[in-house]
Amino acid sequence: MRACRGARPRCLAFLLHDNDKWGPLLPRVRPRPATGPDRARACISVASMASDATVVWTDRFLDYSWTPTHPMKPARLRFTMALARGLGLLEGIETLSPEPAAEADLLRVHAPAYLDAVRRARPAPPGSGPPVAPPFGLGSDDNPVFPRMHEAASVIVGGTLAAAGEIAAGRTRRAVSIGGGMHHAMPAAAAGFCIYNDVAVAISWLLDHGFDRIAYVDVDVHHGDGVQRAFYDDPRVLTVSIHQHPATLWPNTGWPEESGGGAAEGTAINLAMLPGTRDAQWLRGFHAVVPGALAAFRPQLLISQCGVDTHREDPLADLDLTVDGQRAAFVAMRELADRYAEGRWLAVGGGGYGLIRVVPRAWTHLLATALDRDLHPGTEIPAEWLEQVRAYAPAVRPPHTMSDGGDTDFARWDGPGGAPETGDARADRAQRAVDTAVLATRRATFGLLGLDPEDPRD
């Protein structure tokens, strides 16, 4: 999710500024607030139940707003919801409005001293620059302090907890909170634009509320290090991360050999993709690893971190996916949840810094997939939405359909021998690289799950 390149990256300062003068670009909704002693649970409408999916949303997600030059901007969420509404995806769907996470839930993952530091943090005076060694990771270029940071980050966690609560209570099988996905936050440190680790908090909560086998699949371009660390020694949680190779991108973790500790060996799975990996190769790798792992683990719930900084236009990473490939990944995860997780699927957002051309379309596809209202890739973008984004960023050429024209056809992995050569030297080279990565991952973990690393049927 962190949007910086390389081992010693610096955040880019040339991206679009988020300016309050534009105001919210979507109509105000009147969601039902959470009620009762368990604020992770909230009322949802009959319409939401009819679609068997819940959308978690509050305008308070937009308060998670860094400095004007920071790559992660609330505009990406605002434009996503505006596009989803403009396409009619949310018609008849009453969104679930979360409350901030309680301190007791934040303490499931984070140290008391860290929570206190976040509460006390204040923005640095103008011109002072970031501290040389920022305490708790706060005040760095990546994680600058912003007003009411604790409150904003707590609402993000509350959103993911609300989604978890709906699934745990049996009120829905699927839930989406695009505001979540802060997978880098550590027990006592902010990292990679993440203050509190909403996913880790939600998994911990679910483990205390009737679940004992939870699978987490992270498709962000950056390794899901914070979630992996939280459950590295816990055999009840399977973490799978598919990310850009750690030798080429922060946080420089997520090697195949990171496979879980103690009784949890085999429950941390990492598939590292080389820069330039395209849709077909990425999907080949995904399907060579994820279905077999889920079949062996037999989760009661699938949680997906759906960062979209894997896109070829993302300014801060080096994979080469399109919106079409990302859509194919979301559809695959829905199908895997239906097949292996009793239909239970909790999806959150994550990274993605193509504020206009990428994130809104990709996460609108995510919402459509969860709601079983799949959008044809050729669907045209509403004119009203185009007007909104042109007003926000006149210099950016907006997309006009829900597709990049990407090719999502892929050859399934069929064992160590590899696929036949196609005659396309670049594609063949990329496929060999993915097959090498697949074998490294399967050999590091599949045997520990009782699977044959070299048998494509596993």
Catalytic residue, chosen from 70, 150, 184, 223, is 184
State the pLDDT at residue 98.
98
How far apart CA 364 and CA 356 sit, in angstroms, is 12
Q: 252: burial class by Cβ within 10 Å (0-12, 13-18, 19+)? A: middle
Q: Is the CB of residue 98 less than 8 Å from the CB of residue 179?
A: no
Residue ranges, the chain, pLDDT below 50 = 2-51
Q: Which residues pair with 401 in a beta bridge?
A: 380
Alpha-carbon radius of gyration of the chain = 21
How far apart CA 310 and CA 244 sit, in angstroms, is 8
State the pLDDT at residue 130.
63
State the pLDDT at residue 133.
57
β-strands 214-218, 237-244 pairing: parallel
Q: Is the CB of residue 190 less than 8 Å from the CB of residue 152?
A: no
β-strands 96-97, 214-218 pairing: unpaired
Could you read off the pLDDT of 226-253 as tens digits, one per residue?
999 999 999 999 999 999 999 999 999 9
- Spatial neighbors of 454 by CB under 8 A, at least 6 apart, are 415, 416, 439, 442, 443
Q: Is 184 a catalytic residue?
A: yes
Q: Is the CB of residue 97 less than 8 Å from the CB of residue 34?
A: yes
Is the bond leading into 24 cis (omega within 30 degrees of zero)? Answer: no
Q: For residue 74, give the nearest of 82, 83, 64, 84 by alpha carbon.
A: 64
Give the count of beta carbons closer than 10 Å to the beta carbon of residue 37.
5
Tell me the pTM.
0.89
Task: Give the domains, in start order, of the chain with CATH numbers.
Answer: 53-122+135-449 (3.40.800.20)
State the pLDDT at residue 259.
99
- Spatial neighbors of 51 by CB under 8 A, at least 6 apart, are 92, 93, 371, 372, 373
